[in-house]
Amino acid sequence: MVVPLSSLITSLSSDQASERQVAAGQLLQLGPAARPAVVALVEAADSDDETREIVTAVLEDLGPPDEEMTLPLADILQRTTLDSPYWAATLLGRLEAAAAPAAKALITAAEEHPQGAVRQRAVWALGKIGPPATEALETLEEILAEDDPRLVSLAKNAIESIRG
């Protein structure tokens, strides 16, 4: 029996871990056809460990999301958790210049997010956006003075990418 994509998306936010896991597993089998579920998958990344593992596998194989998901993904960057904002930044970076409308949210995450990995991913995503993210240059230059060598390296790369 083929379960409609909309039902799988709804199941990703179920209170039942087993229902989330089954839905994520079915989305994994869909491959690129699961792309419309990207935002729900990213949101489910903050649930139980097994769901997170399956969701991660789906997201790793999806490639860039559809451009209309840019702003919903940018909204997820505000969460203080690790996995959902990390994946939101990753997917925005995969959109490259098309993610320019999310630059402000990525800048905020790069400056303030409590999770170091999310800050790093936000900086990486700004670099992937390139020249349309010129508003990030001041923040990226401030990051160069931080103690996190990986974050500093990513900021250097992002500055080079944005300046062309």
| Domains of the chain (ranges, CATH numbers) | 1-63 (1.25.10.10), 68-164 (1.25.10.10)
Q: For the segment 18-27, what is each residue's pLDDT rounded down to a tens digit?
A: 999 999 999 9
User: Cα-atom radius of gyration of the chain, to the nearest Å?
Assistant: 16
- Global pTM reads 0.95
What is the share, in percent, of the chain residues with pLDDT greater than 70? 99
Average the pLDDT over 134-155 and give the result: 98
What lies within 8 Å, CB to CB, of 141 at 6+ separation is: 155, 159
Average the pLDDT over 27-47 and give the result: 95
Average the pLDDT over 27-44 and give the result: 95
- HEC profile of 7-76: HHHHHCCCCCHHHHHHHHHHHHHHHHHHHHHHHHHHHHCCCCHHHHHHHHHHHHHHCCCCHHHHHHHHHH
Tokens 């559809």 correspond to what residue? 66
Average confidence score pLDDT of the chain = 96
Q: Place 3 in a pLDDT band, splitting at 50, 70 and 90.
A: confident
Average the pLDDT over 45-57 and give the result: 96
Residue 162: predicted pLDDT: 98
Q: For the segment 65-75, what is each residue's pLDDT rounded down to a tens digit?
A: 999 999 999 99
Q: For the segment 53-98, what is each residue's pLDDT rounded down to a tens digit?
A: 999 999 999 989 999 999 999 999 999 999 999 999 999 999 999 9
Residue 1: predicted pLDDT: 64
Is the pLDDT at 164 greater than 90, yes or no?
no
